[in-house]
Amino acid sequence: MATNRTFTMIKPDAFAAGNAGAITKIIEENGFTIKAMKLTKLSAERAGQFYEIHKERPFYNDLVAYMSSGSIIAMILENENAVESFRTLIGATNPAEAAEGTIRKLFATSIEANAIHGSDSDENAQIEGNFFFSDLEKF
């Protein structure tokens, strides 16, 4: 995957609230091109694998339960400086600290149920894209 790509997930709270369309529109309006997209649901085991880096954190078990509680939409996005510019677009982890106009400010309901994920490095964008899309060479 080139360095102009990032990976995102619309999380279960945002999908269940019917915000997937609005969030996708904001993503596209901000210059991101959707290269791959999948509506799916994570098992607790897969959610635990995805967030394995947080295994020792006190919120890990709740995070796994939340991320496996409903449907999610996984996407690979392309833009200039994709990883950093997407993290700016989604805003701070805690919506109370997220800047005005960011996706988390608009749609997140708590520090846990924060509507959307964004990869934090080019390396993780590639790892996370491969986690959901086994046929990446097509995109």
CA distance 76 to 128: 9
Residue 111 interacts with ligand ATP (CB under 6 A): yes or no? yes
Shortest Cβ distance from residue 5 to ligand ATP (Å)? 15
121 Cβ contact list (under 8 Å, min separation 6): 83
Q: Could you give the string, one character per residue 70-99, with x where binding to ligand ATP holds by CB under 6 A and - elsewhere?
A: -----------------------x------
Angle formed by the axes of helices 82-90 and 122-132, nearest 10°: 80
Active site positions, annotated: 117
Q: What is the binding site for ligand ATP (CB under 6 A)?
A: 54, 59, 63, 93, 111-112, 114, 117-118, 120
